[in-house]
Amino acid sequence: MIKSITKTYKESFSGLSRETWILSTVILVNRSSSMAVPFMSLYMTQYLHRPPSDAGLIIALFGIGAILGAVAGGKLTDVIGFSAVQIFSSVIGGAFFIFFSMLTNFHLLCIFTLVIAFFSEAFKPANYAAIAVYAKEGTATRSYSLNRLAGNLGFAVGSSLGGIIASFSYPMLFIVDGIVTIIAGGFIFYFLPMAKAISKTVEEKIKTAARKPWKDLLFVQFLVLNTLLSTCFFLMFRVVPLFYKEVFMIGEFKIGLILGLNGLIIALFEMVMINKIQNKRSAVHYIIRGVLFIICAYLSLLLPGVMPLVLAVMCIILFTIGEMFALPFINAFAMGRADESTRGQYAAGYTISWSVAQVIGPSAGFFLAEKYGYNWLWCILILLLIVCAGGFKLIERGMD
């Protein structure tokens, strides 16, 4: 039995290109630097003693910068290549993070927040495009899944280190974040081919009448649905923990362990699952299945809280299963619509949909919860997810 399990895991991770592993290592390092942003509001209020409204403005500016960065990063990827965009965005973004730690003037902090978010998000379309280029035939979904696995591990490491560093020095948090981000750019420069041949092909094809993402009706419909889905996705890690605390009366330590199940389950099972199911049904079929599991997760929060700890664990397990079904295939679908000359632009569109959701989702979620109560919020999210499932079903039929 142990040999069978070992063989299954070995098959799941085998056959991926060397470049795919390098890109995942880069993401692991890059996401490990995601230690400062989660503490941005605390930095503003606790260290700089600014009012909460200023912290809210900084977070909003980060979202705006992220959207602008995604647009620019996607366009530049198609013009100068994904390697150059990843290197420059990492090095420049990391340098601005280090400078950020030295600032106290609020207006300069606002400007630097925009710039940091711009370069941080410009990295993502280039990375998505690189995965699409370097993935061996038939391994695109697994390649994106490996990238997600690396990102989850990196975020877990970064968040843990961030909490430790912030406990004794907030400025050091931004300095370490900047240094690690620069190291990620160095990984790409030294280990990833610059893909000159690919860049030449891109330059030639840009001159032709290639399909643009904003003229691709099916892709635009997909982006709208993904924005709705992403909005519901983010609330699981923004509003639900507060619900666990206030309504289920679960302590912070247990909440942390429950949320940690998400990354643990993904790390243990996603690659194996993707290896078993990929290429058997359409990507959209599995996206719909994932949405249905996420619906079940939010439905579980409406059950009577007789055993709140059990319900909380059940919710995160159902949500994680839905995430494992939906997200790798969403990545594969988005990049599968592009050709060599528009990969960056398609990746930018996909990244923007997540950035928009990250800006509007938490603020709208907290507002609805405060104004109408948590149960109404869960009902609204379930309704939005049903609309998503129906919309993805229409897309699937449109592809037949």
- Each residue of 140-192: pLDDT tens digit? 788 888 887 887 777 777 766 776 787 778 888 889 889 988 988 888 888 87
Q: Are 373 and 260 in the same domain?
A: yes
Instruction: Give the integer Cα–Cα distance in Å for 142 and 325.
Output: 12
Q: Are 119 and 225 in the same domain?
A: no
Q: Are 233 and 307 in the same domain?
A: yes
Q: Are 133 and 261 in the same domain?
A: no
Q: Are 237 and 274 in the same domain?
A: yes
**Is 73 or 63 the better-scoring residue by pLDDT?**
73
User: Is 283 domain-assigned?
Assistant: yes
Q: Are 265 and 215 in the same domain?
A: yes
CA dihedral 335, 337, 341, 343 (to 10 degrees): -20
User: Is 6 domain-assigned?
Assistant: no
Instruction: Give the integer Cα–Cα distance in Å for 229 and 329.
Output: 13
Q: Are 194 and 214 in the same domain?
A: no
Last residue of a domain, one of 150, 183, 208: 208
Q: Which pLDDT band holds residue 196 (cuts at 50, 70, 90)? A: very low
Average pLDDT rounded to a whole number, residues 190-214: 55
The CA–CA distances, whole Å, from 295 to 58, 147, 217, 265 equal: 32, 25, 26, 19
- How many CA atoms does the CB half-sphere of 267 hold within 13 Å? 13
- Residue 305 has a pLDDT of 66
Among the listed residues 5, 14, 37, 192, the one whose alpha carbon sits nearest the alpha carbon of residue 116: 37
User: Is 9 domain-assigned?
Assistant: no
Q: Are 166 and 228 in the same domain?
A: no
Strands (E), 150-304: none
Predicted confidence (pLDDT) per residue in 331-372, tens digit:
888 877 877 677 778 888 888 888 888 778 877 888 888 889
Q: Are 75 and 126 in the same domain?
A: yes
Among the listed residues 60, 75, 62, 67, the one whose alpha carbon sits nearest the alpha carbon of residue 344: 75
Q: Which pLDDT band holds residue 194 (cuts at 50, 70, 90)? A: low
Instruction: Give the integer Cα–Cα distance in Å for 294 and 284.
Output: 15
Environment class of 204 (CB within 10 Å of its CB; exposed 0-12, middle 13-18, buried 19+): exposed
Model pTM above 0.85: no
Which residues does 265 contact at the CB level (< 8 Å), separation at least 6? 317, 320, 321, 324
Whether 146 contacts 24, CB under 8 Å: yes
Q: Are 215 and 198 in the same domain?
A: no
Instruction: Give the integer Cα–Cα distance in Å for 338 and 121.
Output: 20
User: Is 11 domain-assigned?
Assistant: no
Predicted confidence (pLDDT) per residue in 221-263, tens digit:
999 999 999 999 988 887 888 888 888 998 877 887 888 788 7
Percent of the chain's residues with pLDDT above 70: 88
User: Is 246 domain-assigned?
Assistant: yes
The count of domains in the chain is 2
Could you tell me how many residues make up the chain? 400
Q: Are 213 and 191 in the same domain?
A: no
Whether 192 contacts 19, CB under 8 Å: yes
- Residue 390 has a pLDDT of 96
Last residue of a domain, one of 146, 180, 208: 208
Average pLDDT over the chain, rounded to an integer: 83
Whether 150 contacts 98, CB under 8 Å: no
Among the listed residues 351, 366, 361, the one whose alpha carbon sits nearest the alpha carbon of residue 117: 351
Last residue of a domain, one of 160, 178, 208: 208
pLDDT at 207 over 50: no
Q: Which pLDDT band holds residue 42 (cuts at 50, 70, 90)? A: low
User: Is 72 domain-assigned?
Assistant: yes
Find the CATH number of the domain harbouring 52. Answer: 1.20.1250.20
Q: What range does the domain containing 228 cover?
A: 209-400
The CA–CA distances, whole Å, from 51 to 41, 42, 103, 161, 362 equal: 10, 11, 17, 26, 19
Predicted confidence (pLDDT) per residue in 75-103, tens digit:
888 888 888 899 999 999 999 989 988 88
Please give the distance of CA 61 from its chain centroid, rounded to a whole number.
18
DSSP assignment letter at 211: P
Instruction: Give the integer Cα–Cα distance in Å for 12 and 34.
Output: 27
Instruction: Give the integer Cα–Cα distance in Å for 191 and 21.
Output: 11
Q: Are 132 and 216 in the same domain?
A: no
